[in-house]
Structure 1
Amino acid sequence: MKYEGQICRGPMERSSFMLPVAVGCAYNRCIFCTLFKHLSYRELPMKQIEEELARVREAGGNPKTVFLGDGNAFGLSADRLLEILDKIHQYFPGCESIHMDATVTDVGRKTDRELCRLYEEGVRHLYLGIESGLDDVLLFMKKDHTLEQAYREISRMKEAGLIYDAHIMTGVAGKGRGIENAEHTAAFFNRTRPRRVINFSMFLHESAPLFREIQNGTFCPADEKENLMEERRLLEMIETDALTYDGFHDFIEFRVRGELPKDKEKMLRKLDERIEAETEGKVAIVS
């Protein structure tokens, strides 16, 4: 597979065949993100996409699930996506579902009929970068949506049968606002009811535009203890059924995952142990 840039997809897609259909992110203005800043966004030619499908089929591949890359494949026009879906089904007759990342605005650009057509042709899971349940945080981080827009577009996609999954980031609200952000994000999830939530605790890199906000004092990052406490409050307050959760903390190599509500108490205990270790200054990794 020819792939430019960093491969980025949710852990729930590790068994999916990843088919690149674009390079970079069509939006690419979130100030915390460094994944696509070095890339110039472009759609890949259909010839290249079809060559990759043919290569995999000739190697004996017939995946049940396909994940379209790159940053927000759902930003492609409905007509372009339908053309790609048709090719996927031609080459992989066993394919049952197609998943991809999306922004709230990507959904808003599709008509109700287009959303239904995409569902009819096999699109199932859409991963939306929700990031926070606070409007002022979304504005500061230059997300492409408000909460009101997110509520509207998630309702539209679910009405068409599409499955809504969410990306979030503990720490995105900054120092001292972790619990506030957790409570508002949980309220958002209790209303919108995602099937999956992936939490990448904010990883700050000097190449991110957000780093300049830290240098000039307009953003103060939370430490990992506060991020852990935020995550604990989030999981404590989520009241949806059948939600798969996976949370990462790169700085301390900590991960908590499970099914809600079934695994909630086990996940909270694991977080309590890690928070206690952080409080006492222990460095052992809780895995």
Structure 2
Amino acid sequence: MDYEGQICKPPMEIGRFMLPVAVGCSYNACRFCTLFKHLKFRELPLDKVEAELLRVKNLGGSPKKIFLGDGNPFGLSAERLLDVLALIHKYFPDCRDVSMDATVTNVSEKSGEELRALRDNGVSELYVGIECGLEDVLAFMRKDHNSEEARGQIARLREAGIMYSAHIMCGTAGAGRGIENAEATARFLNETGPHRIVNTSLFIHRSAPLFSDIESGRFTPATELENMLEERRLLELLAVPVDFYDGLHDYMEVRTKGRLPQDRERMLARLDMEIERKRERAEMYVVYAS
């Protein structure tokens, strides 16, 4: 299938066959994001989805796990998702593990009955864009939810038997607020118990709406050192089992991954080493302005 847009996939899903079923993001209003600003969200025709499944089957593929693309396929209606799942089962009847990205709003738009039907037909896990635990930051970044709404929708997923994993970002609170944000985010994650966590540094491109806030002085980005100190505090405070945690900064030599709690000390030691290196260098910001 010719892929339109930019591939957005959690690192722990790299080994899964990715089946595009939509283009873009149904929300597409977060101030920091540029991935889908040039695209209008739309569902892909079912015949195109089926053709991709047939292509993979004819190549000898037999995926047991499938990740649906694009930005948030859970923004499709439950009816359309069930149609997609039926096609998956038609060509790959052994596949019973389907995951995808979602927003809190995507979950709220589906009834409990629809969530259970999706689970019964193979939807096992959603990666939800939580980003941070501070209410004023969620509002400033124009996320589609506040923390209370996120807690409520995650509880509904749990009732339906669908696992939730969290996308979060260091640096969303800006300079000087990293530890505060780490503590608020840890409280949220400890309350909601994500299966997996993907943590990245906030990266600001000139084309992002947030860039104008930097130019006007409304937002001061955190340094990479601050982001790593924020991540360290978060890892100290996470008190729930996490099947896999992956912390990616924009410099790939700084990557912290493992299971919690069993790998916590190793992960903290890795961060401590990189933190000391960063202290010896000039401050670095992950802002792309060219």
TM-score (norm 1): 0.97
Query: Following the alignment from structure 2 to structure 1, what is the Cα–Cα distance between the partners of residues 282 and 261?
Result: 30
Tell me the SS of whatever aligns to 1:250: coil
Give the corresponding residue for 1:131.
131
Task: Indicate whether 1:63 and 2:63 are aligned.
Answer: yes
Task: Indicate whether 1:27 and 2:27 are aligned.
Answer: yes
Query: Following the alignment from structure 1 to structure 2, what is the Cα–Cα distance between the partners of residues 52 and 280?
Result: 50
Query: Following the alignment from structure 1 to structure 2, what is the Cα–Cα distance between the partners of residues 252 and 53?
Result: 33
Gaps of 5+ in 2: 284-290
Give the corresponding residue for 1:263.
263
Decide whether the 8 Å contact of 2:178 with 2:226 is kept in 1.
yes
Tell me the SS of whatever aligns to 2:170: coil
Query: Following the alignment from structure 1 to structure 2, what is the Cα–Cα distance between the partners of residues 218 and 104?
Result: 27
Letter matched to residue 191 of structure 2? R
Tell me the SS of whatever aligns to 2:181: helix
Query: Following the alignment from structure 1 to structure 2, what is the Cα–Cα distance between the partners of residues 21 and 105?
Result: 19
Gaps of 5+ in 1: none
CA offsets, 1:132-169, max 9 Å, x none? 00111000000000100000000000110000000000
Q: How does 1:156-167 map to 2 (within 5 A)?
A: 156-167=156-167
Cα offset, 1:243, TM superposition = 3.3
Decide whether the 8 Å contact of 1:242 with 1:260 is kept in 2.
yes
Give the corresponding residue for 2:48.
48
Decide whether the 8 Å contact of 1:201 with 1:227 is kept in 2.
yes
Give the corresponding residue for 2:3.
3
Cα offset, 1:254, TM superposition = 1.3
Query: Following the alignment from structure 1 to structure 2, what is the Cα–Cα distance between the partners of residues 12 and 115?
Result: 23
Letter matched to residue 185 of structure 2? T
Query: Following the alignment from structure 2 to structure 1, what is the Cα–Cα distance between the partners of residues 121 and 40?
Result: 29
Tell me the SS of whatever aligns to 1:168: strand
Query: Following the alignment from structure 1 to structure 2, what is the Cα–Cα distance between the partners of residues 67 and 265?
Result: 31
Give the corresponding residue for 2:153.
153
Give the corresponding residue for 1:109.
109
Give the corresponding residue for 2:219.
219
Query: Following the alignment from structure 2 to structure 1, what is the Cα–Cα distance between the partners of residues 162 and 108?
Result: 14
CA offsets, 1:18-65, max 9 Å, x none? 000011101100010010011121110111111111111111111000
CA offsets, 1:182-206, max 9 Å, x none? 0000000100000100011111111
Tell me the SS of whatever aligns to 2:204: coil
Decide whether the 8 Å contact of 1:168 with 1:197 is kept in 2.
yes
Tell me the SS of whatever aligns to 2:49: helix
| Corresponding pairs, count | 283
Letter matched to residue 47 of structure 1? D
Give the corresponding residue for 1:278.
278
Identity %: 58
Decide whether the 8 Å contact of 2:194 with 2:242 is kept in 1.
no
Cα offset, 1:281, TM superposition = 2.2
CA offsets, 1:218-239, max 9 Å, x none? 1000000000000000000000
CA RMSD after TM alignment: 1.2
Decide whether the 8 Å contact of 2:225 with 2:275 is kept in 1.
yes
Letter matched to residue 100 of structure 1? M
Decide whether the 8 Å contact of 1:193 with 1:240 is kept in 2.
yes
